Structures are given as C-alpha cells and as structure tokens.
Amino acid sequence: MAKKKFSKEWIMQHINDPYVKLAKEKGYRARAAFKLTEILDSEKLLHINDVVVDLGSTPGSWSQIVSERLAGAGGTLRGRVIALDILPMEPIHGVEFIQGDFREDEVLSQLSQLVGNQQVDLVLSDMAPNLSGVGIADAARIQHVCDLALEFAKDHLKPDGALIVKAFHGTGFSQIVESFKTVFTRVVERKPKASRDKSSETFLVARNLKASVLAGRVESGN
C-alpha cells in the first residue's frame, strides 16, 4: 500500500512540476534540459565549434540543448555532438549516436574511434546506475560510473576542457570529489533549480586538466 501511495504522489508531483510543463512547451524530451542549461550558463560553458560528448544521453534532452546552442544559420551544427547510451535514442539533427553500454571496453573503444584525434571541449555525463537501496553497493556503482566518465575525460579533453557529471550525496561522494580534484584544477558542486529538493543528486563541474595529467597523456601517446 505504501508503495502505491508513493507512486501516486510521484505521478501527481510530476504532472504539476513546472519544469515538466516547460519542457513540453519548448519541445525538450525531459525536464533535465533545464539542469544543463543552468550549469552551462553559470559556468559559461559551450561555445560555437565545440566538440561535445554526451554520456548516458537518452532520452536526449542534454543533446538537444547542446545542438540547439551550436546551431548556426539554417540549423547547421557549428561544432560536433556525439551521444552514447545503452538505450535507444530518437535521432536529433546533427547528433552522432552510439547505442551501447559505456562500461564495456568494446563500446568505449567505438566511442574513442568516433572521436578520433579530435580533442573534446566538453564531456557530459547524466549517467546513473540502477540503484538497489543498499548503501555500500550503490555507492560503488555510482563511483564506477563517475570513474568511467573521468577516465574518458582524461584521455580526450582539451587541456582547458570541462566535465559535467551527475553524482549523489551520500556514501562515497567525498571520494568522488577527491578523485576529480586529482585530475582537474577546479572542481565545483552545482545543484540546479530544476533538481528536485528531495533528490540527493549533485552535479560536479570540473575544469582545466592538471599539468601532471597532460604529462601522463604525452607519455602514453594519447
């Protein structure tokens, strides 16, 4: 009974959510579009001709925002957007999409090949693992997803590039932050207005790769 009541409350909250309504008005696929919009604006990220990788992209609202901002006259994309998700995603004009599990080496290799020698300006990760409700297990899953995004950024970001990752306050969060600080010179936490108050989700915005990371990249030939 409690589960049914919670479900009904969630549905009512979702229906009455102003960001859900606004997303429908603007044609965005999810309210998450406004989370990214606020972060991009506050951090002054994303510029014409940027190369962007969107991890965990489905249903596609973040890729929508990026492609919209990179669109020039006639809708031509002035830049590049590569999206990836384990689930299918309806096509978005100008966005290159890979369907696969980012945790698998084969899929990661496919993404790396698509990026090629181009250095990436911005890596986005709205990925979230399926949570079990067991704190220690969930913390490990969340950290693993964040680590994958971090490793990809280490290999492919421009020196002054940025990484935006969704994380969750709780067990293991401080360790995730510390791991980001070993790679980037600036790491800040952002809780966009579109994030629900009850949600523990927090976005980490990391910028500018440290010299030690760049030196390691040269040594490895990346």
Residues annotated as catalytic (active site), given as ranges: 166
Q: What's CA 134's distance to the chain center, in Å? A: 24
Sheet-wide strand order for 157-168? 95-99, 80-85, 51-55, 120-125, 157-168, 201-209, 184-190
Task: Name the binding residues.
Answer: 60, 62, 85, 101, 126
Selection from 76, 78, 73, 205 nearest residue 150 by Cα: 205
Task: Name the binding residues for S-adenosyl-L-methionine.
Answer: 60, 62, 85, 101, 126
DSSP 189: E
Query: What is the number of other CB atoms lying within 10 angstroms of the CB of residue 112?
Result: 13
